[in-house]
Amino acid sequence: AQKITQTQPGMFVQEKEAVTLDCTYDTSDPSYGLFWYKQPSSGEMIFLIYQGSYDQQNATEGRYSLNFQKARKSANLVISASQLGDSAMYFCAMIEGGSTLGRLYFGRGTQLTVWP
Amino acid sequence: DTGVSQNPRHKITKRGQNVTFRCDPISEHNRLYWYRQTLGQGPEFLTYFQNEAQLEKSRLLSDRFSAERPKGSFSTLEIQRTEQGDSAMYLCASSDPGQGATNEKLFFGSGTQLSVL
């Protein structure tokens, strides 16, 4: 079974609007971490935001927030006030507490396009 | 630039040839990772080093693949007798030694894009 599922291959949003990128995960480990990375066309994976399984509050980092719904095993990324530079692939990833350090499981990604 | 550096950015080779990639992590990071990303997929874990010790290898890493980190600084990934199925982006990442088990933030390089003809 897929550990990370991203069901939106592509999303389009107009500049200055908010957009939500979906992510669901599957694990039986009570301790885990959830990440979102951005991959522009240059190829580098850029860390955006992190949410721990025991965190009570949703994570926020500037224009990025993570809508964490533990019971639904959902960790959606919300980008507010989209900018043209936000156009990129976005990957949701998870690390399990019982797994190898740094062993991230990635989804297939969502290609976000921001139009003027 | 103090980020993770990977060389070369692109490599084109013929099937059956050997190739070697290099990764220079962020200098104070003692953990180093290799991931592989094929077209339309997210990155997949290959292997992990803590200093010079290779502590974990994925089943994706066949006998034709070997990774080293001889002095605990830079790392090399060699693929022997390349096959067309090896065509992918090979990403290197490093992480801060102060991280816990589930909040370890990886810093990735821009990758080496391998094309096997």
Residues of A in contact with B113 (CB under 8 A): 43
Going through A1-116 in order, the beta strands assigned E by DSSP cover 4-5, 10-14, 19-21, 24-25, 32-39, 46-52, 60-61, 64-69, 74-79, 88-96, 105-106, 110-115
Report the C-alpha gap between A88 and A109 in whole angstroms: 10
pLDDT in tens, B40-84: 899 999 999 999 998 888 888 889 999 999 988 999 999 999 999
β-pairing, B44-50 vs A74-79, is unpaired
Residues of A in contact with B110 (CB under 8 A): 42-44
Please report, as a single letter, which amino acid is at residue B33: Y
Q: What is the pLDDT of residue B58?
A: 87
- Give me the torsion for CA of B98, A37, B86, B20, rounded to 10°: -50
Cross-chain Cβ contact B101/A97 below 8 Å: yes
Q: What is the pLDDT of residue A102?
A: 78
- Min Cα separation A54/chain B (Å): 11
pLDDT in tens, B83-105: 999 999 999 999 976 667 777 88
Residues of A in contact with B35 (CB under 8 A): 104
